[in-house]
Structure 1
Amino acid sequence: MYHPAGSGHGHPDSLWAAFFLEDRVARLLVIDNYDSFTYNIVQMFMQYDLDIHVHRNDKITLDQAKAYNPDYILISPGPRNPARAGISKPLIKAHYKKIPILGVCLGMQCINEVFGGKTVRSENPVHGKTSMVFHTGEHLFSNIRSPFTAARYHSLLCELSTTTDGGNPLGITAQTEDGIPMGISHRTCPLHGVQFHPESFLTESGYDLVENFLALGPLASVKRDEHTGINKPVFRGVPAGASAETAEACY
């Protein structure tokens, strides 16, 4: 919808704008950390009534992200570490208080570092293996059985910041049997991360987790179309090593 600049309060244009904004499709901004799993996760969100924009972590600015006015933000996995995740951490800092944000794998590590945590190398890297995940039943894990099976693909782990005054606003909401953090959440803001991959066919209740995340925003009672995707996302970037056909399809 075209909304002319400078239309004042009470102007017919502003009234029409208010009407259409109430009914607009919810917007999901996806930050792609150059990972092959990103588009699998995007396909999950395509099952819902969302306007999805995907941007590489070095191909969008904070101002551009703000202008998109997202209702949700997803920080994708990635093959590197939070120091090389481009806009991911600054975007979390800028929006975590008001916009629901989900970080997956590297995305969770970025959330942890924003609040003073460390990313450390695991003594036992796991790639394509499953673990039983035990959780608190809160936030992303509402109405999901504990433990459940989840797929892991990571060689780095989160070490949460510890302070003598208990000042870290993040808490662990899920972990493996041997205590490796698999989920973290902000205590008062809609900011959540998971170390495992909800999009994997090896993970139980992946769509339940996604719907719990979407419930934090305008899609409070959403259920997916189990047969076909509803929307085609707008991709701003091409997967590494993509064919010419794939590259063309991304725009």
Structure 2
Amino acid sequence: MILLIDHYDSFTYNIYQAVAEMGVEVEVVRYGALTVAELLAKKPEAIILSPGPGHPDALPESIKLIQTACQSIPLLGVCLGHQLLGAAFGGNVVQAPVIRHGKVSPVRHSDRGLFAHLPQPLPVMRYHSLVLEPETLPECFEVNAVATDDNSIMAIKHRDYPVFGLQFHPESIGTPDGVKLLKEFVSGLKRKAAVNG
């Protein structure tokens, strides 16, 4: 089962639908409805941190969840969820150079991991006014994608743990290959389950 933490955002259910259509059980839990211990007691195979309004500093329970779960449970952060990942490891979240709400940007990506075999550049849909500050991005993260129009960080991956962040919206029709990114995350879970029996 994948836990999807809802940070009070309508996009949460688009992510839910996209992932559930892949044949995996997804449980949506609204931010603050359960403690970190109660969330972890559900024994999720993975946790997806949804988009949402506001700043990661206003969501201390999600920061705590990331810090507690990151070594053992795969995490995927989308938009605000991506920013939460960076903040949980000590990075700063700052005003974006240009506010992007409903704007498509081309991104250059690593062509590895979640991005393997995707078009280069990759068009993605953006809905955000905050970004991870490149100068304070913790060294434990590698940058997997950068917007070519403003050089904002669009994707990160932890160097040691199964932790991935996407600043853009993979569930959006404006990200034509976004479902492939989500499928690669889910496929990684299925491969891990097969190995662990």
TM-score between both structures, scaled by the size of structure 1: 0.73
Q: How far apart in 2 are the matches of 1:81 and 1:181? A: 17
Q: How far apart in 2 are the matches of 1:220 and 1:205? A: 23
Name the residue aligned to 1:99.
73
Which of 1 and 2 has greater Rg? Answer: 1
**What pairs with 1:140-159 in structure 2 (closer than 5 Å)?**
140-159=114-133
Name the residue aligned to 1:117.
91
Name the residue aligned to 2:31.
57
Q: Which amino acid counterpart does residue 46 of structure 2 have in structure 1?
A: Y
Q: Is 1:197 the counterpart of 2:169 in the alignment?
A: yes
Q: Is 1:139 the counterpart of 2:151 in the alignment?
A: no
Q: How far apart in 1 are the matches of 2:96 and 2:139? A: 23
Q: Is 1:184 the counterpart of 2:156 in the alignment?
A: yes
Q: Does the 8 Å CA contact 1:103/1:110 hold for their aligned counterparts?
A: yes
Q: How far apart in 2 are the matches of 1:123 and 1:117? A: 17
Of the three residues 46, 65, 70, the one matched with 2:20 is 46
Unaligned runs of 5+ in 2: none
Q: Which runs of 4+ in 1 moved over 3 A?
A: 160-163
The verdict on how the C-alpha distance between 1:159 and 1:181 changes in structure 2, with shifts beyond 3 A counting, is same
Of the three residues 144, 157, 161, the one matched with 1:173 is 144
- Number of matched pairs: 192
Map Cα deviations across residues 127-172 of structure 1 (whole Å, 9 max, x no partner): 0010001101122111212211100000001114649xxx720111
Q: Which amino acid counterpart does residue 214 of structure 1 have in structure 2?
A: V
Map Cα deviations across residues 100-142 of structure 1 (whole Å, 9 max, x no partner): 1100000000000111110101231010010001101122111
Q: Which amino acid counterpart does residue 173 of structure 2 have in structure 1?
A: F
User: Whose helix fraction is larger, Structure 1's or Structure 2's?
Assistant: 2
C-alpha deviation, 1:41, in angstroms? 0.8
Alignment root-mean-square deviation, CA? 1.7
C-alpha deviation, 1:48, in angstroms? 1.8
